[in-house]
Amino acid sequence: MKILFADDHWIVRASLRHVFERLGIKLEALEAGSYQEAMELLEAEASVGLVVVDLIMPGFHDFEGLQVLRATYPEIPVIVLSVHEDRKSVMRCIELGVVGYVPKTTDAKELSRAFERVLAGDVYFPRDILARDIPVEVEGAAASIQDRVGVDWKVLTSREKEVMSWLGRGMSDAKIADILRLSPNTVRVHVKNIMKKLGLSDRAETIHFAVTNVRNLLPDNAE
């Protein structure tokens, strides 16, 4: 697998590469120390399977750079590394379609878990940040996605809403199964039914929808 590590500190790039190698993944590592280098590598290299990018590095300009990156290479999944640990930053990255958001304070164990989930076709967002108070501006993002999929989330059953609410707070299928006292397979079936009802194309889009709609989906007894 060809992975581009874009960060202006070589130690960070080396550490990220080491985490992937410890997961037993055969990879061809590409490295960029600036936004321009990253874009030049993406243009020159075919079949890049994943981009891991620092949200703040020379030439990147936070969300502006991320927006251009996603618009230019929409088929390449992106994991964002960031010093920002606020919900607004995570939500903005989700709006731009990233598959993962990893704060730079994340320890090695959790970092490995994040990469494992993304490589398995899932997404990863820090549940502690997503569980914080939900600002009013999130409703605008929710409406945007809801308009795009063209289906009202209210068609979901109570159980499906519960599953979606936990997805929206960054929980894995296994964790949701434990919380709701279901089998992981049952949770996966619920997710598939949710995707079908809402016209969502894949699991990543389903979780994005859950995150941006979490205000409406949170159960009354949510902690």
**What's the pLDDT score for residue 158?**
86
Strand order in the sheet with 100-103: 28-32, 2-6, 48-54, 78-82, 100-103
Using DSSP's 3-state secondary structure scheme, residue 31 falls into strand
CB under 8 Å to 126, separation ≥6 — which residues? 85, 90, 101, 102, 103, 106, 170
**What's the pLDDT score for residue 144?**
46
**What's the pLDDT score for residue 193?**
92
47: left (phi over 0), alpha (psi -120 to 50) or beta: left
**Contact indicator for 134, 214 with CB cutoff of 8 Å:** yes
- Domains of the chain with CATH codes: 2-130 (3.40.50.2300), 138-217 (1.10.10.10)
**What's the pLDDT score for residue 39?**
94
Report the alpha-carbon distance of residue 97 to residue 74 in Å, rounded: 8
pLDDT tens, the chain, 223 aa long: 899 999 999 999 999 999 988 888 888 999 999 999 999 999 999 899 999 999 888 888 778 899 999 999 999 999 999 988 888 888 888 888 898 999 988 888 889 989 988 888 778 888 777 766 554 444 444 444 444 444 566 788 889 988 988 887 777 787 888 889 999 889 989 999 998 888 888 777 787 778 777 655 554 434 3
**Contact indicator for 114, 91 with CB cutoff of 8 Å:** no
Report the alpha-carbon distance of residue 166 to residue 163 in Å, rounded: 5
Question: What is the dihedral angle through the alpha carbons of 120, 121, 127, 132, rounded to the nearest 10 degrees?
Answer: 170
Token pair 């609410």 in the structure block, residue: 165
**What's the pLDDT score for residue 220?**
43
**What's the pLDDT score for residue 131?**
65
